């Protein structure tokens, strides 16, 4: 009887482990959307002045990105590790780069149209995904009355630099 109970417990534990493993290999993990929603809420709340630690939302985005990158690379079944990494980079470039440069282009055209070229001084940083370095040397658009159409691009710069380190 004890052996039967132990066997049933082991089978139940094995089934739960198998379900967990299948979940990790699923192409879509809905819980990640919930974490993204928390991160978005944190960033919005800090910009609205309701929360003093909005940086937590940005950090949460970085954690979600790290999870997505890692699981994507683990799930990949394409050839060698080099081919998997190359495939990953091509997918990320096709997903991020076109929209990123379209955003920069549209904002640049708008700024030229309204005769407000000051933010365009950041273009070298934006075009090389080093916009976060601009903040490191003290060129910031934050503060009372500050505005920049590119203000949020620093986080994409950090994310792209993370990919370069892979």
10-27 pLDDT, tens per residue? 566 565 555 555 655 566
Burial category of 42 from C-beta neighbours within 10 Å (exposed 0-12, middle 13-18, buried 19 and up): buried
Same domain, yes or no: 100 and 71: no
6 vs 90: which has the higher pLDDT: 90
Same domain, yes or no: 158 and 117: yes
**pLDDT score of 18:** 58
121, part of any domain: yes
148, part of any domain: yes
Same domain, yes or no: 111 and 149: yes
Same domain, yes or no: 101 and 143: yes
Same domain, yes or no: 100 and 166: yes
Token pair 């979940």 is at which residue? Answer: 23
Contact 151, 142 (CB under 8 A): yes
pLDDT tens readout for residues 79-115: 888 888 888 889 888 988 999 999 999 999 999 999 8
10, part of any domain: no
**pLDDT score of 94:** 92
26, part of any domain: yes
pLDDT tens readout for residues 24-51: 556 678 888 899 899 888 888 887 888 8
Token pair 């819980």 is at which residue? Answer: 31
117, part of any domain: yes
137, part of any domain: yes
81, part of any domain: no
* pLDDT grade for 146, boundaries at 50, 70 and 90: low
Contact 151, 107 (CB under 8 A): no
- The total number of structural domains that make up the chain: 2
Query: Range of 115's domain?
Result: 95-166
* Host H or E run for residue 105: helix 81-113
DSSP single-letter state for residue 119: G
Average per-residue pLDDT for the chain:
80
Mean pLDDT, to the nearest integer, of 137-143? 65
89, part of any domain: no
């Amino acid at each position: 009887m004890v052996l039967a109970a132990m066997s049933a417990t082991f089978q139940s534990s094995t089934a739960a482990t198998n379900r967990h493993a299948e979940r990790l290999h699923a192409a879509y993990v809905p819980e990640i959307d919930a974490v993204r929603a928390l991160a978005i809420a944190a960033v919005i709340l800090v910009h609205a002045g309701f929360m003093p630690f909005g940086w937590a939302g940005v950090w949460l985005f970085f954690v979600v990105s790290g999870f997505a990158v890692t699981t994507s690379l683990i799930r990949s079944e394409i050839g060698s590790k080099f081919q998997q990494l190359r495939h990953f980079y091509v997918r990320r470039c096709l997903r991020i780069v076109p929209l990123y440069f379209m955003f920069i282009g549209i904002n640049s055209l708008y700024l030229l149209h309204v005769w407000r070229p000051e933010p365009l001084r950041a273009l070298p940083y934006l075009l090389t995904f080093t916009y976060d370095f601009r903040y490191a040397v003290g060129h910031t658009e934050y503060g009372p009355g500050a505005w920049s159409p590119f203000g949020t691009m620093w986080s994409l710069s950090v994310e792209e630099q993370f990919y370069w380190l892979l």
